[in-house]
Amino acid sequence: QVQLVESRGGLVQPGGSLKLSCTASGIFFGIITMAWYRQVPGKPREWVATMSSGGSADYADSVKGRFTISRDSSKNTVWLQMNSLKPEDTAVYYCNSGVQWGQGTLVTVYS
């Protein structure tokens, strides 16, 4: 059974940083492209970043230069390092393996 477990989000002030993790089980993590999405209530889920099995990363324009996706196949884990956070980054963040979603974790950027 495929399972993605995300770390707890949190509260952070604008300009602050937060790092999310997502640990996978039940999949061949090393060959899977992993991604992060986010969703604000009442709005569609928005793609944030992707990292291929080969380590190639891609980012939404809204987070480019501020967020960094990384992965470690030996730990079946993908991370999202979020720097220079803005109030508009407030959302529930989800990791995705292409067929499975994590449970979602709330990140709140408040001033």
- Would you state the pLDDT for residue 99? 85
- pLDDT tens-digit profile, the chain (111 residues): 889 999 999 999 999 999 999 999 888 888 889 999 999 999 999 999 999 999 999 999 999 999 999 999 999 999 999 999 999 999 999 999 998 999 999 999 998
Q: What is the pLDDT of residue 60?
A: 98
Q: What is the 3-state secondary structure (H, E, C) of the chain?
A: CCEEEECCCEEECCCCCEEEEEEEECCCHHHCCEEEEEECCCCCCEEEEEECCCCCEEECCCCCCCEEEEEECCCCEEEEEECCCCHHHCEEEEEECCCCECCCEEEEECC
β-sheet bridge partners, residue 47 = 37
Residue 78: per-residue pLDDT:
97
